[in-house]
Amino acid sequence: MKDDYKQLPTPEGLEACPCCGSPAELWRYSEDITSPTQTVVCCSRGDAIGPQEEDGLAGAGCPLYMPPNGFYCATQREAVKYWNDFAKALTALQRKNRWDHAQVLRTKDLPHE
């Protein structure tokens, strides 16, 4: 069995990676020559981020450099929509959580009545 990935042209409107902000890439995937193909959007950042284990495997690259199975779709349109919807939702959640955390920090130093 040989996994096969082939990079496709990047479509317009593809959101940046919601984890690290790197550009996203569109790929076609098939487990072998007789398997149906799937399309997936992946983060382009495969370079190490942060601390690494000695073997260099754990923690290498962005977590969405090789996204989970749910990101693999039958068509390019579905893969791009899934990625963009996920990216927008994660970005909105990060923004909300950071605002909430900053709100606590802003009110922490105010005198209490």
Sign of the torsion angle spanned by Cα atoms 52, 57, 61, 62: negative
Q: Is residue 32 part of a domain?
A: yes
Average pLDDT, the chain: 86
Q: Is residue 9 part of a domain?
A: yes
Please tell me which residue, 110 or 32, carries the higher pLDDT value. 32
- The Cα–Cα gap between 50 and 37 comes to 33
- The whole domain housing 89 covers 4-107
Q: Is residue 42 part of a domain?
A: yes
Report the amino acid identity of residue 93. L
Range with lowest mean pLDDT among 10-14, 21-25, 36-40, 98-102 = 98-102
Q: Is residue 98 part of a domain?
A: yes
Three-state SS for 81? helix
Q: Is residue 113 part of a domain?
A: no
How large is the average pLDDT for residues 6-32? 95
How large is the average pLDDT for residues 87-107? 83
Residue 71 is predicted with a pLDDT of 97
Q: Is residue 112 part of a domain?
A: no
Are the C-beta atoms of residues 74 and 38 closer than 8 Å to each other? yes
Secondary-structure breakdown of the chain: helix, strand, coil percentages, each rounded to the nearest 5:
30, 15, 50
Percent of the chain with pLDDT strictly greater than 70:
81
| pTM for the full predicted model | 0.78
Burial class (CB in 10 A: 0-12, 13-18, 19+), 41: buried
Domain count, the chain: 1
Total residue count of the chain as it appears in this document:
113
